[in-house]
Structure 1
């Protein structure tokens, strides 16, 4: 049996490619487990500065594998919950990834596939891509996409998409804030590679800090407590090795060490 995921690392950029093209890169238990392990491995791999998530074949990802989920009624409740948690865990592992991440989206991104896309920090899609939170039309709940969907489009639009269940195009996804760039399909790899290289210019410690702070601050009132939290981190970051190197590099009119 072919591996459901391929990992490649080059020049600071790791690419995780879902390799179940016949199933439109849908997630079953094994695929989700392998995906989580790969994301966590990239998180601690010092060679990896940026993560790209992609799909092989005609589509990015069709979400949960129905052939797998159809086995659940014959399973006990604990085993069904393990399966659901594996799919949710794949999205959460991406969301918690401490370095910049990019979704390279082509073909179809449906249900949990949208969850994977929105769990990344950036989403670049081909102009031919199609999207859908179609689970309602299949009697299912696209649960693994809900938290990141609400963050991307807000609760009202999230409710509409999840209840309607229709398919929409790349232009609509851009208008809703679900993707960041729509490009010609022939240019997709070039644009993703350019963005990944641009992200390599940022200080790794600052990028990690941004990913920690933004979700935390999003749930806080803009008050003295939030200001105190930010002030604490700003003051600490200014004394870090990367801050000192970055400021000296600017004054010396050169690139900092992490960007060379």
Structure 2
């Protein structure tokens, strides 16, 4: 059943985003397949509004988050925002929004999950992945900062394993993600949606006050970790290397980083 209201169907106020509601379960689907579901400013703003909308709905019990096509989320495309502070604030509201709401979010990773997509994944409470899914932080290869991923990865998989992923920016598959504990379950691509819905139904049937209290307890550490990352992220985003990384990516050439 499609939710009625301003976020029910994609339109001027919900670019690249589908939001449906079936009773207490919301389904949020990133829908920019031509960009592998990268978040431009308009889509990021719409996603941030969805998190606020969910949190304001007393009947909401759980959210399923997924993507269209061959990608979950390939990260953030905020080239239209010149101010690093504004870009960071939007990233925090959109990608890290799941940590600020009392409703659990189930990530159904249907494909590529890269860059800011990893931060979005790590902000979710439960994570399922299709066997075809691929993952990677990539920020170190692009002169950027993996805002929201450093503390979360270190906390969840340990410093050495997190450093391997963060400092190399390498890609890895769903089996390795499960082995590291980044996703709780890997299933066949055709079974992913049904598995996510089934998990959401279990959570939706539990005591909502207990679920919200549990989430508040473990999410507090994630939010504290994000606060510690803001200064580092701002410094990197304002650097010449960040601009060079973006230019090199668009030109499809190797980046020439100068450390400034």
Aligned length: 211
Aligned residue number for residue 171 of structure 1: 175
Q: Distance in 1 between matches of 2:48 and 2:169?
A: 27
Verify the 8 A CA contact 2:151 2:222 in the aligned structure 1. Answer: no
1:19-48 superposed Cα distances (whole Å, 9 cap, x missing partner)? 111111111222111101111101111231
Aligned mates of 2:148, 2:123 — CA distance in 1: 10
- For 2:54, the equivalent position in structure 1 comes to 42
User: Which residue of the other structure, out of 98, 101, 105, is the alignment partner of 1:101?
Assistant: 105
**Alpha-carbon contact 1:101-1:122 (below 8 Å) kept:** yes
What is the aligned partner in structure 2 of residue 155 from structure 1?
159
Q: Which has the higher helix share?
A: 1
Q: In the alignment, which of 124, 127, 130 is matched to residue 128 of structure 2?
A: 124
**Alignment check: 8 A CA contact 2:99 2:222 kept:** no
* Alpha carbons of structure 1 residues 216 and 141: separation in structure 2 relative to 1, 3 Å: closer
Would you say 1:21 and 2:33 are equivalent positions?
yes
Q: Tell me if the contact between 2:26 and 2:63 (Cα under 8 Å) persists in the aligned partners.
A: yes
Matched, 1:52 2:56: no
Q: Provide the rounded CA distance (Å) in 2 between the counterparts of 1:175 and 1:54.
A: 21
What do residues 201-257 of structure 1 show as CA deviations (whole Å, max 9, x unaligned)?
Answer: 2100001111122345899xxxxxxxxxxxxxxxxxxxxxxxxxxxxxxxxxxxxxx
Cα distance change on mapping 1:213 and 1:122 into 2, 3 Å: same
Q: Is contact 1:16-1:52 (8 Å) kept?
A: yes
In structure 1, the residue matched to 2:194 is 190
Question: Residues of 2 paired with 1:126 and 1:175: CA distance?
Answer: 14
Aligned to 1:137: 141
In structure 2, runs of 5+ residues without a counterpart are: 1-10, 224-260
Deviation >6 Å, runs of 4+ = none
* Structure ID, larger Rg: 1
Unaligned stretches of 5+ residues in structure 1: 220-260
Is the 8 Å Cα contact of residues 130 and 170 (structure 1) preserved in structure 2? yes
Give the alignment's TM-score, normalised by structure 2: 0.76
Root-mean-square deviation (CA), in Å? 2.0
